[in-house]
Amino acid sequence: MNIIKGPAIFLAQFAGTEAPFNTLDGMCGWVASLGYKGIQIPTWETGLIDLDLAATSQTYCDELKGKVTSYGLEITELSTHLQGQLVAVNPAYDTMFDGFAPEAYRNNPKARTAWAVDQLKKAAIASKNLGITAHATFSGSLMWHTMYPWPQAPKGLVEMGFKELADRWMPILNTFDENGVDVCYEIHPGEDLHDGVTFERFLKATNNHKRVNILYDPSHFVLQQLDYLKYIDYYHEYIKMFHVKDAEFNPSGKVGVYGGYQDWKDRAGRFRSLGDGQVDFKSIFTKLTQYNCNVWAVMEWECCIKSPEQGAKEGAPFIASHLIDSTDKGFDDFAGSAADKEALKKILGI
């Protein structure tokens, strides 16, 4: 039996205004025809899910789940990436992130944050109502503008930043705990949780809250030049979600990690469709299986070269080909023999 389930697909990058991408029925029929077994639903797409209703009506959730199941699919997780971003926004980014919130909350950071927190709490309840035990989101960021140590950060700045971030998230985490759902932060540049060290700092600031977990996406580590395989060795116990997304990093004499403010297609680090980048997925699936990470393999498509339709079509068989049927049988069992305690002593010479 597979420990890693799949293939599944994150619907965010495919939702649109034209059929089949403008309704849940249309998208379910489309992804099922491509061979996907699960869908990850972005909660800000109101044409796919009514988050307010999902948090208040078990009947609505049962009907929503039934609709998805009728296409041979499961809802793997809900996502609040955009709302999670708004839990913590440095004023430098107010204008750019205002578009993530409804118009009524724009130009009002406090109201926008309160709305975001309420959205996350509703997502916790909705997840429970749908029988889902993990949730995808972003941490938001108060300190990203200080990422490079120039000018040097005043003493105590980072500690204060993580304390504030934790203080904002603790009521949300407690609501998720009450509903039996893990919060899986996508470790992502632009977020205060963007690597292993920052995850550990946040975990410590929340007093090791048991609902603080990881959405593992190796593509973001390729762009940071971080060892994404060793990351699994360090943090496998926290990996409760998995985005299968490819990437490549090709530095030159003109551009490196920071990208030179260029468009995605011209950057040294860029996201690619599955199989077109440099990510060693065979080793990733092996490690996640080795560590018994019970996750859905969810394709997230982001590519500046290939069309989303082609990426989705190729993604399902790519993931399926990497799924591993784990075994309890040793390859050398045929040569084994039973031994009692006295036989063991004889072998050891004692």
Please list, in sequence order, all residues whose beta carbon lies within 8 angstroms of the beta carbon of residue 247, skipping any fewer than 6 positions away. Answer: 218, 219, 220, 222, 223, 269, 270, 271, 272, 277, 278, 279
Residues 6+ apart with CB under 8 A from 332: none
Average pLDDT of the chain? Answer: 96
Residue 40 has pLDDT above 80, yes or no: yes
Within a 13 Å sphere around the CA of 323, how many CA atoms are in the beta-carbon half? 21
What's the predicted TM-score (pTM) here? 0.95
H or E element at residue 4:
none
Sign for the pseudo-dihedral over CA of 200, 84, 17, 125: positive
pLDDT at 9: 98
- Smallest CA-to-CA distance from 89 within 145, 153, 159 is with 145
β-pair partners for 79: 42, 136
Burial class (CB in 10 A: 0-12, 13-18, 19+), 65: middle
- Average pLDDT over every residue of 212-217: 98
Residue 336: predicted pLDDT? 75
Tell me how many domains the chain contains.
1
CATH of the domain at 198: 3.20.20.150
Span 155-172, average pLDDT? 98
pLDDT at 330 (0 to 100): 67
* Segments forming the whole domain that contains residue 251: 5-348
| H or E element in which residue 221 lies | helix 218-224
Residues 6+ apart with CB under 8 A from 144: 90, 190, 191, 192, 194
- CA dist 25 and 113 (Å) reads 32
Q: What are the Cα distances from residue 154, in Å, to 111, 149, 158, 159, 348? A: 29, 10, 8, 11, 61
* Cα–Cα distance, 81 to 64 (Å, whole number): 21
In this prediction, residues 333-347 reach a mean pLDDT of 81
Query: Quick one: which of 202, 211, 193, 191 has its CA closest to 162?
Result: 202
How far is it, in rounded angstroms, from Cα 31 to Cα 20?
10
Burial class (CB in 10 A: 0-12, 13-18, 19+), 49: buried
Predicted local distance difference test score (pLDDT) of residue 281: 98
Q: Please report which confidence band the pLDDT of residue 326 belongs to, taking 50, 70 and 90 as the band edges.
A: confident
Residue 115 has pLDDT above 80, yes or no: yes
